[in-house]
Amino acid sequence: MGDAHRIGVVGLGVISRAYLDTLVGHPAVRITAVADLDASRSAAVAAQLPGVQALSVEELLRSPDVDTVLNLTVPAAHAEIALGAIAHGKHVYGEKPLAAELTEARTVLEAAAKAAVGVGCAPDTVLGTGVQTARAAVEAGAVGRPLFASAVMVTPGHERWHPHPDFYYTAGGGPLLDMGPYYLSSLVHLLGPVRAVIGASSRLRTERVIGSGPRAGERIPVEVDSHVSGVLEHEGGTLTTITTSFDGVATTAAPIEVHGDKGTLMVPDPNNFDGDVRLLELGEREKGWRTLLPSAGYVGAARGVGLLDFVASDGLRAPRASGELALHVLETMTALLRSSAEGRRIELSTSVERPVPVPLTPPPEWR
């Protein structure tokens, strides 16, 4: 425990529980401090975790007992907290998106490079056996040459279950910035970076109704588009059509499909760590879809595994859930929205190396 990497958590809302479940007691890390704008939340969490201090946000960012700030605040605060951590010489690993706006995200990465600290960013679900097994299959030639792909995320909206869903409908939210990182990070793993996009989006309802918690029934304004679709041109020439929507009740479409000249691969929901990867090979329609055995990825992983991967990389290799990947994903998303607004194809200015694949890693080796 003596050399454990010290983590300070900022933002103690809904998703913080999942991270704490993974990180508390893990031998590689030690949570030393927690902070939230709402001091009652940090006090409540610290009371449950011996040795963890409840601090103000500023105190945590300055604390000499924190090596990496885990930033679990809402998207509009991601850049501000990240820059505060970097200014105090700390690494930062945060929830997605990297920032609410592309310019802010670039500023974060530039500041980190100057300060010689690392930036990591969710999602880490794509490091689980679902997306990693699919990637291994594509790389092994299971579909032959990938020619095109599709990605579909349809939900009636998080306000149905989240008790304070305002951030999903303000800058940094919307179906693409909220859920797109899972799909786009997966697509970079599977097919490589994106060179250009064409987008179209809509906002046909101006209010949403909170469905749970103390504010149930309250109407909240919609300040971003709630349905976004588009086409991505990957650098290798593959085209992906993407739909992300808070406007549909349900869909039967596969979350992601990769089509090649020898087969079609169904990739499980990239918002989860695992799930069945299924393959139908050309000429095998009668045999039907075959489920592939997990062959890559962190087995039984949960939120926080990307931070463990980030801490373990420690200058030896690039972290897989990296700031550079998150910047490319954010540029892809903001370019889709800009393309929609301007009615034209947009070429991206960023690219990224595909992250190093995750070999099949059973729980004793990462937990």
Residues within the interface to ligand NAD (CB under 6 A): 10-16, 36-38, 41, 57, 72-75, 77, 81, 95-96, 164, 178
Q: Based on CB atoms, which residue is closest to ligand NAD, 9 or 142? A: 9
CA distances from 302 to 21, 127, 272, 322 (A): 9, 10, 9, 17
Cα angle: 18, vertex 155, 321; to 5 degrees: 40
Least distance (Å) between residue 163 CB and ligand NAD: 7
Q: What is the DSSP string of 23-87?
A: HTT-TTEEEEEEE-SSHHHHHHHHHHSTTPEE--HHHHHH-TT-SEEEE-S-HHHHHHHHHHHHH
CA dihedral 51, 70, 122, 2 (to 10 degrees): -50
Least distance (Å) between residue 10 CB and ligand NAD: 5
Least distance (Å) between residue 103 CB and ligand NAD: 18
Could you count the other beta carbons within 10 Å of the beta carbon of residue 45? 20
- Please enumerate in sequence order all residues whose Cβ is within 8 A of that of 122, keeping only pairs 6 or more positions apart, or say none: 94, 95, 96, 181, 303, 306, 321, 326
Q: Based on CB atoms, which residue is closest to ligand NAD, 173 or 192? A: 173
- Please enumerate in sequence order all residues whose Cβ is within 8 A of that of 175, keeping only pairs 6 or more positions apart, or say none: 153, 155, 226, 227, 228, 244, 245, 246, 247
- Please enumerate in sequence order all residues whose Cβ is within 8 A of that of 248, keeping only pairs 6 or more positions apart, or say none: 154, 155, 156, 227
Q: Based on CB atoms, which residue is closest to ligand NAD, 17 or 219? A: 17
Least distance (Å) between residue 337 CB and ligand NAD: 17
Q: Based on CB atoms, which residue is closest to ligand NAD, 80 or 276? A: 80
Least distance (Å) between residue 166 CB and ligand NAD: 8
Least distance (Å) between residue 148 CB and ligand NAD: 28
Q: Based on CB atoms, which residue is closest to ligand NAD, 81 or 329? A: 81
Least distance (Å) between residue 228 CB and ligand NAD: 16
Contact 262, 144 (CB under 8 A): yes
Rounded CA separation 266/130 (Å): 10
Question: Per the structure block, which two tokens stand in for 216?
Answer: 């149930």
Q: Based on CB atoms, which residue is closest to ligand NAD, 172 or 199? A: 172
Q: Based on CB atoms, which residue is closest to ligand NAD, 164 or 354? A: 164
Q: Which residue is nearest to ligand NAD (CB)?
A: 13
Least distance (Å) between residue 302 CB and ligand NAD: 12
CA distances from 315 to 118, 119, 334 (A): 9, 12, 30
Least distance (Å) between residue 140 CB and ligand NAD: 30
Residue (of 17, 135, 2) closest to 72 by Cα position: 17
Q: Based on CB atoms, which residue is closest to ligand NAD, 182 or 366? A: 182
Q: Based on CB atoms, which residue is closest to ligand NAD, 72 or 210? A: 72
Which residue matches tokens 């179209």?
200
Contact 223, 170 (CB under 8 A): yes
